[in-house]
C-alpha cells in the first residue's frame, strides 16, 4: 500500500461528486440496484474512488442479489480495514479503504466459497480500472 492519504473536508468535496462524498466521507449508502457496478461483468480491478488504492479484483465479484456489488475477498488483507458499526440498531462490520479511510460498505458472513464472506460495497466508493487499461 502507498502512503496514507489525508485531505481536508474541502479537498474531498472538490474531488468527489455529491454522492461519492456522502458515501465515502459521511458513511452513506447508495440505494440498492442503482449503483454503476451492481450488474457489471467487466474484467478489471476495482479501485478506491478517493485515493486509487486497489481493493478488489473482478474475478472475486459475484451476484449476491442484494443490489450492491459484492466480492468474496479483497485484493489483499492490507487493502481494507474493518471496524464494528452499530448504527441504526444493527451490528455490522464496516469496511474502509486502508489508505484513505473512505467508507466502502460492509462485510457479512454469508458469501460463497472459498471465504464464505460477502463484501457488500457501494459503487460510489469504487472506480473500475478495466483489464488492459
Active site residues: 120
Q: How many CA atoms lie within 13 A of 85 on its CB side?
A: 17
Q: Which of 24, 5, 4, 18 is nearest to 125 (CA)?
A: 24
| 3 state SS of 2 | coil
Residues 6+ positions from 109 with CB-CB distance below 8 Å: 116, 117, 118
CA-based Rg of the chain, rounded to a whole angstrom? 14
Rounded CA-CA distance 74/36 in Å is 19
- Do 112 and 72 touch, CB atoms closer than 8 A? yes
Neighbours of 127 (CB within 10 A): 18
Amino acid at each position: 500500500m502507498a502512503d496514507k492519504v489525508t485531505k481536508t473536508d474541502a479537498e474531498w468535496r472538490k474531488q468527489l461528486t455529491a454522492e461519492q462524498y456522502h458515501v465515502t466521507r459521511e458513511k452513506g449508502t447508495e440505494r440498492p440496484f442503482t449503483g454503476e457496478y451492481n450488474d457489471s461483468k467487466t474484467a478489471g480491478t476495482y479501485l478506491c474512488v478517493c485515493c486509487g488504492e486497489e481493493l478488489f479484483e473482478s474475478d472475486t465479484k459475484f451476484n449476491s442479489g442484494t443490489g450492491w456489488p459484492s466480492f468474496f475477498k479483497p485484493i489483499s488483507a492490507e487493502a481494507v480495514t474493518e471496524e464494528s458499526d452499530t448504527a441504526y440498531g444493527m451490528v455490522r462490520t464496516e469496511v474502509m479503504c486502508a489508505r484513505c479511510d473512505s467508507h466502502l460498505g460492509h462485510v457479512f458472513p454469508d458469501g460463497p466459497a472459498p471465504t464464505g464472506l460477502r463484501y457488500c460495497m457501494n459503487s460510489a466508493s469504487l472506480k473500475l480500472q478495466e483489464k488492459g487499461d
